Amino acid sequence: MIKDIPLIALTPGEPAGIGPECAIRLAHEHPEFRLLAIADPQLLTSAADMLGFDIPIKVWQPGDTVTAGQLSCFPHTLSQAVRPGQPDPANAAYVVETIKTAVRLIRAGHAGALVTGPVHKGVINNGGIAFSGHTELLANLAGLKKVVMMLTADDLRVALVTTHLPLRDVPDAITFENVRNTIQITHNELRTRFGINQPVIQVLGLNPHAGEGGHLGSEDVQIIQKAIDECKKNAIKALGPVPADTAFTPSRLSSCDAVIAMYHDQGLPVLKHAGFGKAINITLGLPFIRTSVDHGTALDIAGKNIASASSLYAATKAAQDMCR
CATH of the domain at 301: 3.40.718.10
Residue range 54-110, pLDDT digits in tens? 988 999 999 999 988 889 999 999 999 999 999 999 999 999 999 999 999 999 999
Residue range 34-67, pLDDT digits in tens? 999 999 999 999 999 999 999 889 999 999 999 8
Kindly give, in sequence order, each residue whose CB lies less than 8 Å from that of residue 277, ignoring residues fewer than 6 positions away. Answer: 294, 295, 308, 310, 311
3-state secondary structure of 71: strand
Do 211 and 269 belong to one domain?
A: yes
Residue range 215-253, pLDDT digits in tens? 999 999 999 999 999 999 999 999 999 999 999 999 999
Do 152 and 275 belong to one domain?
A: yes
Q: Do residues 42 and 108 touch, judged by C-beta distance below 8 A?
A: no
* The total number of structural domains that make up the chain: 2
Q: Which residues pair with 83 in a beta bridge?
A: 86
Do 308 and 228 belong to one domain?
A: no
CA dist 142 → 11, 147, 151, 203, 302 (Å): 17, 10, 20, 27, 32
Residue range 136-184, pLDDT digits in tens? 999 999 999 999 999 999 899 999 999 989 999 999 999 999 999 999 9
Distance CA 19, CA 302 (A): 9
246, HSE (Cβ side, Cα atoms, 13 Å)? 9
> In the 8-state DSSP scheme, what is residue 13?
-
Do 166 and 251 belong to one domain?
A: yes
Question: What is the reported pTM?
Answer: 0.92
Q: Do residues 206 and 171 touch, judged by C-beta distance below 8 A?
A: yes
Do 124 and 151 belong to one domain?
A: no
Distance CA 124, CA 70 (A): 30
Distance CA 193, CA 258 (A): 13
Do 163 and 260 belong to one domain?
A: yes
Q: Do residues 249 and 270 touch, judged by C-beta distance below 8 A?
A: no
Do 274 and 310 belong to one domain?
A: no
Do 114 and 5 belong to one domain?
A: yes
Do 69 and 183 belong to one domain?
A: no
Q: What is the pLDDT of residue 275?
A: 85
Do 162 and 234 belong to one domain?
A: yes
> Please, what is the average pLDDT of the chain?
95
Q: Does the pLDDT of residue 1 top 60, yes or no?
A: no
Do 99 and 218 belong to one domain?
A: no
Q: What is the pLDDT of residue 56?
A: 85
Do 301 and 267 belong to one domain?
A: no
Residue range(s) defining the domain that contains residue 137: 1-144+286-324
